[in-house]
Every structure is written in C-alpha cells, then in structure tokens.
Structure 1
Amino acid sequence: MDIVIKLAQFLLSLSLLIILHELGHFIPAKLFKTRVEKFYLFFDVKYSLLKKKIGETEYGIGWLPLGGYVKISGMIDESMDKEQMALPPQPWEFRSKPAWQRLIIMLGGVTVNFILAFIIYIGMAFVYGDTYVANADMKDGVWIENPVMLKTGFKTGDKLISIDGQKVENFDNDLNMKIIMSKEVLVERNGQQQAIKIPNDFVDQLSKHEKGLLVNIRVPFAIGKVTAESANQNLKPKDLILSLNGEKVTYFDQAKAILNSNKGKTIPAVILRDLKETPLTVKVSNKGTLDVVAGGLGLESLEKLGYYKISTKEYSFAESIPVGLTKGKDQLIGYGKQLKMIFNPETKAYKQVGGFAAIFNIFPNTWSWETFWNITALLSIMLGVMNLLPIPALDGGHVMFLLYEIISGRKPSDKFLENAQMVGFVLLISLLLFANGNDIYKAIVGK
C-alpha cells in the first residue's frame, strides 16, 4: 500500500506539472493564431492510451511517462517533421509568426512553472502558516551525528550563528540544505565564535554515508519500545531517562556517551514515568545500549516537557503573498546554487544527479497534502530552470536562437536548426541516461 501512495503522489505531481507547462506553450500559441496539432500528457511512441481530436488539435495520453509535449505547426522540435518544413510557410505556422510572438510561445512553459511554484508557496503560507523553533531558543545548540559534519569540524552543542553571512533566525526544514549549499558556517562553541569552512567536495563526502539530517534538534531519551531480548524489562514505553549512573541526562546524545562508558555494567538510573521521578537500575549491554528503541517525540511533546518553545505563525491572505514570494525566490536561488555545484567538477556533485527514481523517492509513503504541494512547488522550479538551459531541444535552446534572431535581425536557417535539434536531442538522451544510470548504480551499491 505504501508504494501505491508514493506512486500516486509521483504521477499526480508529474502530470500536473507537465499539463500546466504545456498549457504555457498552448495558450499563447492559440492567442497568436498558431496551429497546435497535438497536446499530449506523456509520450505516445507508436500508440496512445487515449486520444481525441477537438478542432485542429489532437489531445491524448501517451504510454511513456517521461514528460509531455505540444506539437506546433511549422516548428522544428523533437518530432523532426521535415516534410512539413519542406513545404512553403503557412500563415498559421510557428515559423511565419514574428520573432517576439515565437519568443513568448517558447517562454510560456517555464513562465507557468515559476508562477505555479509561487502560487503554491503563497497558498501554503495561507493554509499552513509556519511552525518552527526560533534559533535563539536552541540554548544548548544542535545535535551532530553525521560523520562528515563531525569531520568538517562541527560538534554537538554548537550554536548556529550564520550561514554564508546570513543570520540563522529559525531552525527549520531548509537549514540542512542551506549548509550543503554554503561555503562557511559561523558557530558559537563554549562562548566563542568559530568559522567552519565547508569543503568543495562536501556533497560527495555526504553521498558516501547513510542519508540523514546534518543538524538535529537535541531531544531527550524517551523509550519507544523495549525489545524482547532486552535485560531492562523494568523500562516501559514513554519512560523518559533523567539520569544514568548519577549523571544528569537532558538529551539523548548525553545518554549515549554515558552508556558507552559503562558497557556491560549495571548502573542506577532515574526515569520520568507518569510525571513521577522513579529510581531503578538498568543493564548496559556490551555494545553500550539499553536494548530499547528510542521514541521520537513530536514538537508539541517537547514543548510540554519544557525543552523548546514552538512558534506558530499564521498569515492572512494578504500577508501570505510576500511570504510565498520570498519562499519561492529563496528556492529558486537555492536550486541555481545546486546547478552551479553540479557543473563544478571540484564539488563532484554530478555524482548525485538523479533521474526518475530519485524524484520518485522524494515522495513519502504516507499521504500529506502539505508535503505533496511543497515537493510539487520545488519540482516546478526545477522543471522551469532546467528547461531554460540553453540546450537545443529544450525551451532554452529555442529562446537562445530567437534572441539571436531578434538582436541580429537574421534568422538561423532551417537546416541549422534541424542539426542543432539533433545535437540537443543526443545531449538530452545522454543526460537522461547518466541521471537514471546514477539511480541504478546507487540501487546496486546501496549508496
């Protein structure tokens, strides 16, 4: 059932993005009286799952879910319809329209992608607001477990001050990505500020270890489940460890250190059970554990226990507009930085480029509209930016040649555009194979 929910979210998001992107081309084409021969969700190689002709346009759903397209008359595109291009230009064809109209038609898809992302972020701000822990309330700093973060110089208890000179206001979901994209993080440690440089191959180093958050909120040691093999059957789910071997335990990371130094011993402990402090003894395994499953506490529980103050901010519709626009702008800039890293060989970030499997795995196994819309907005930005790359066969390639025509006053020949389209197509296939090859490689080696 989990895989069905994951697949449903993936296909719904992909379908929505494709249809709206192609509508971005379709609508201005129609406004400029340009004939659109086909409008397809997914590719109809050899045959279609569904199709219906309305007026001069055939609408359909293909069987290959690798994208979608609109076929515009008189345009050199992936269809490579050379027979049509060999005939005299007709008034309803793309090639007969002024360059500025052709430019608007080609920019329509990415424009819709960016507008969609901003609309989603505005809607999410209005419906869900913001829930976060203010960075100022992280009085005991953050929890660092990731070995790459430790190697880079971070330590548990560090207080994050700024990332690339930008002050850290809140502990939120974007914080980890900001660190990955950064060059320098300023932390406070034992009352002293210290700058930590992020290495160029940081992303590559992270890829060689188990996935997980780079920085975590420090949480208490709550018992989620006592295993049948555990020697500590006196512990119960929801117990909270307050002290071990006479040492106060505020956070889980402190408990791990104490247990590790008392392997194989029986030590005194104090727990909080039903809001009462209860002394007992616990047996530490030879691995330095209690053979229990730690329980995850939600932000509300952490607030009730006095660990953090959870801030919730709601927005009116008018207030949601600037909030959503700022969120969209930040995501757009962030994705631009990611692309820059991918094209920089020193970062080795190209190794992490993924294909459809990588996109599929972004979606969770449980249905959450908030998560769905957040991922869809991000994918919309990614689709818009990728389509703007100046590669023939992409919208950006067409835009590049149209701008040349507008500036120089000279239109590239059809033969040149056909050759450029073929080069772009080969390049896109190569990128597609590389990205999905990365997915297969990671699945095989488990990285």
Structure 2
Amino acid sequence: MDGLVMAGQLILGLSILVSLHEFGHYITAKWFKMRVDKFYLFFDFLFPVPTVLNFALFKKKIGDTEYGLGWFPLGGYVSIAGMIDETQDASKLSAVPEPWEFRGKPAWQRLIVMLGGIIVNVILGVAIYFGINYKTGNNYIAKDELNKNGIYAGKLAQEVGFRTGDKVLKVNGKDFKEYGEIGGAILDDGIYYTVERAGKTIEVVIPSDFLNKLSDEKDPFFQPLYPFKIAQVPEPEKPSLLSKLFGKSQPEESAAYKAGLKAGDKIVTMNGYPVVFYQILKDSLTKYAGKNVAFGIERQGKMDTINMTINKDGKLGFAMENLIKLSHEDYTIGQAFLVGVHDAFDVVVKNIKAFKKIFAGDVRADKALSGPFEIAAMYGAHWDWLKFWSLTGLLSMGLAFMNLLPIPALDGGHALFLLYEIITGRPPSEKVLERAQQVGTVILLALMVFVLGNGAFKTFFK
C-alpha cells in the first residue's frame, strides 16, 4: 500500500509538471499561429523511436490538434508542424516551409515557443512557493531556540568534528537567523561552522568529499536536540487478503502497544537514567535491542515504571511529538510573493552548485542524481498535500533548469541554435539540426538508463 501511495503521488506530480510544460509550448505556438498536430501526456510510441509501438490509451482530435494520453509514461510532448524534435526527422521537412509551420516563422517567435515550457514551469514553481508561504507563513527554529540545548550530531557529523551538544554560532563566518539556513549552506565551497563547545569556540571545516558520504548516510547529519512526548502508538496492522494468501502472519504487537503507552505520555527515564531528548533515547534503544528495560513514564503529572522489551530493530513502536518551540511569521501577499520567488530560484541556484560539484569531481554523479524511485520516496508513503506541493514546486523549478541546459533534444539545445540564427542571421542546416537531435536523444537516453538503473540498484540492493 505504501508503494502505491508513493507511486500515485509521483505520477500525479509529474503529470501536472509535464502537462503544464507542454502547454507552455502549445499556447505560444498557437499564439504565433503555428499548427499543433499533437498534444500528448506520456509518449504514444516507444521513446525515443517515434515509429515503434504507436498507440494511445486515449485520443481525440479537436480542430487541427490531436489530444491524447500515451502508453509510455516518461514525459509527454507537443508536435508542432515543421519542427525537428523527438517525434519527427528532417526527411519530413524537405518541402518549402508553409506559413503555419514552425520553420516558417521568424527566429524570435520560434525561440519564445522553445522557451514556453520552461517559462510555464518557472511560473508554476513561483506560484506554488507563493501559495505555500502565504498559507503557512514561516515556521522556523530560531537560532536561540536551537542553541538552548545544542545539536544532535549523527555519525557522519561526528566524523567531521561535530559533537552532540555543540551550539552553532556562525556558518561560513556569518550569523544566521534560523536553523533552516544551516543546511542550505552545505553546497557552498570551503564551508565551515563556528560552534561553541564546553565554553570554547571551535571551527568545524567540512571536507570536499563530504557530500558523497552524506548521500550514503541514512541517519541525520545534525539536527536540533528534540524534547519530546509520545504522539501516537499505532495499533498492529491487520494482514491484507493478499498477505494471507501468501501465508504472512499477523504483525507482532509493538512493545509500546503491549505496555499500554498513550498519546501524551513522556518517557523520562530508561534503566534509571534521565531521558530528555528523542535522539539520545533512540541511540540508547539501539544499544539495548532485544532486551527488557525499565522505563519511567510520566502520565498526566503522575509517575509510573513500565518494563518493555525493545525489539530487535531497537524500537518501541511509537510516533513522537517534537516539543521544541517554533517561531512563526505571517506574510502579506506581497511578502509571500517575494519569498516565493526567492525560494523558487534558490532551487535553481542549488542545482547549479550541485552540477558544479559534480563536474569538479567533489560529488559522484550516482550519488547526486535522483530518479523516479528516489523522488517517489521523497513524496512519502502518506498523502500530505503540503509536502506534495512543496516537492512538486521544487521539481517544477528543477525541470525548468534541466530543460534549459544546452543539450540537443532539450529546449535549451533548441534555444541555443535559435540564438545562433538570430545573431548570425542564418540558421544551421536541417541536416545539422537532425544530427544534433539524434546525438542529444542518445545522451538523454543514456542518462535516463543511468538514473533509472542507479535508482533501482539503490532501492532494491542497498
């Protein structure tokens, strides 16, 4: 069931992004009176070969345009008459250009059509971030709140020099307002943190190969130390009919469920030692996996001691409520728009920094690039609309950035040739355009195979 929810969110998110991206090409082509032959969500052929397995799950022709839903669920396309792209080749364009064809229009109009999808993705990304900021405002952990208890340093954070309880004073020598600013600096070059530890000021320098290790690390790098209470003790899931058919047994009841822990309870001691922060408890549970432990429980101001056997995975089986104090700022419409623009284009800036790290050799491509498996996991197994739109907004800006790259077969590659035509006054030959399209398609296909294969390997074999 979790997999279906993740897949459903991924398909919905990508369908929105691809449909609106292609709509950007469609509406600008219509604006300049170009004939649009097809508008498809997903491909109605075996991409990237337009002559193989041509069929659609649904199609309807309205005017000159056939609208449809393809069977190959990787993207979509708009077929504009007189344009060399993944749906046709130069051999079909040997006749004299017609006035309603793409190639029969001025270069500046063709450039706008090629950038139409990117422009719509940027507008969508800004609109999503604007909407989220206006609705939710800014909820954040202030620097003073973060440093009341300090940070929890995970395994990798300890390797580079952090310690649990450190208080972060500066990032790259600059002050900060909120905890969220700390993580955003991780892609900067020569990053270092100034922390206070046991009354002394220390600088922790992040090594250049750090991001490769961070991508492999499942535990958090560092985060605020969280005071907590129990938010929920889930009941054991009943096995589905399919599970019963395959002989799967009833899931075992969790220790927290067996012991009768309730929402609102606080775990205050473990084997007589005080428990204040969730991450410290979690580490202790791992050490005592499979053992029976005495826990001090506070319930409605009264204390009790309960013995529970921690499972082999080092878990009791409860969801925690974080009690750290959040600061809040409401935004006016104008403020929300400006913050939305900043948040949207910050995605592009981070993508540029990430690509710079890849080409500099600081980060391996298999560590940095994410495909459908990883993106589905980011959406999560529970449908949360705020999280859905946040990630969809991020993907919209990422899609705009990727399509702007000057690779033949991408919008940016087409735009590069059109800029050449505008500057020189003469277009590249149709043969050059066809060859560039073929090379670009091979590059994209190789990248697609790499990303899908890499994602599948990390998902199923790691």
- State if a TM-score over 0.5 links the two structures: yes
Q: Deviations over 1:98-150 (max 9, x none)?
A: 111111111111111111100101011112222222121121111122x2221
Question: What code does the residue aligned with 1:422 have?
Answer: Q
Structure 1 residue 436: Cα displacement: 0.7
Q: Where does residue 126 of structure 2 map in the other structure?
A: 118
3-state SS in 1 of match to 2:204? strand
Question: What code does the residue aligned with 2:299 have?
Answer: R
3-state SS in 2 of match to 1:417? helix
1:335 to 334, 351, 363: 351
Correspondence 1:365 to 2:388? no
- 2:71 & 2:291 partners in 1: Cα distance? 62
Q: TM-score, normalised by structure 2?
A: 0.83
Q: TM-score, normalised by structure 1?
A: 0.86
Instruction: Give the 5 Å matches for 1:408-427.
Output: 408-427=424-443
- 2:293 & 2:43 partners in 1: Cα distance? 65
Question: What code does the residue aligned with 1:42 have?
Answer: F
Structure 1 residue 431: Cα displacement: 0.6
Q: Deviations over 1:236-275 (max 9, x none)?
A: 4554343567755432455578899999999997542321
Count of paired positions:
433
Segments of structure 1 that go 5 or more residues without pairing to the other structure are 303-307
**Retained in 1: the 8 A contact 2:151–2:222?**
yes
1:240 to 266, 278, 285: 266
Rate the CA distance shift 1:208–1:121 in 2: closer, same or farther, 3 A.
closer
Q: Deviations over 1:390-434 (max 9, x none)?
A: 100000101111111212223111111111111111111111111
Q: Where does residue 179 of structure 2 map in the other structure?
A: 171
Instruction: Give the 5 Å matches for 1:89-108.
Output: 89-108=97-116
- 2:70 & 2:110 partners in 1: Cα distance? 26
Rate the CA distance shift 1:248–1:83 in 2: closer, same or farther, 3 A.
closer
- 2:291 & 2:42 partners in 1: Cα distance? 62
3-state SS in 2 of match to 1:298? strand
**Retained in 2: the 8 A contact 1:3–1:365?**
yes
Q: Where does residue 405 of structure 1 map in the other structure?
A: 421
- 2:86 & 2:286 partners in 1: Cα distance? 61
Correspondence 1:273 to 2:299? yes
Aligned residues: CA RMSD? 3.3
Q: Deviations over 1:123-181 (max 9, x none)?
A: 11112222222121121111122x22211111111222333445332234x75454365
3-state SS in 2 of match to 1:59? strand
3-state SS in 1 of match to 2:149? coil
**Retained in 1: the 8 A contact 2:233–2:319?**
no
Rate the CA distance shift 1:15–1:166 in 2: closer, same or farther, 3 A.
farther
Question: What code does the residue aligned with 1:217 have?
Answer: P
Q: Where does residue 59 of structure 2 map in the other structure?
A: 51
3-state SS in 2 of match to 1:52? strand
Instruction: Give the 5 Å matches for 1:184-199.
Output: 184-199=192-207
Rate the CA distance shift 1:57–1:244 in 2: closer, same or farther, 3 A.
closer
Q: Where does residue 142 of structure 1 map in the other structure?
A: 151
- Comparing 429-438 and 327-336, the one that deviates more: 327-336
Structure 1 residue 5: Cα displacement: 2.5
Segments of structure 2 that go 5 or more residues without pairing to the other structure are 46-53, 235-251
**Retained in 1: the 8 A contact 2:187–2:353?**
no
Question: What code does the residue aligned with 1:297 have?
Answer: M
Correspondence 1:128 to 2:136? yes
Q: Deviations over 1:21-61 (max 9, x none)?
A: 11111111111111111111100011011111111111111
State, as a whole percentage, how many aligned pairs show the same letter.
42
Instruction: Give the 5 Å matches for 1:277-288.
Output: 278=303
- Comparing 177-186 and 385-394, the one that deviates more: 177-186
Rate the CA distance shift 1:48–1:215 in 2: closer, same or farther, 3 A.
same
Instruction: Give the 5 Å matches for 1:58-77.
Output: 58-77=66-85
Correspondence 1:293 to 2:293? no
Rate the CA distance shift 1:192–1:114 in 2: closer, same or farther, 3 A.
farther
Q: Where does residue 381 of structure 1 map in the other structure?
A: 397
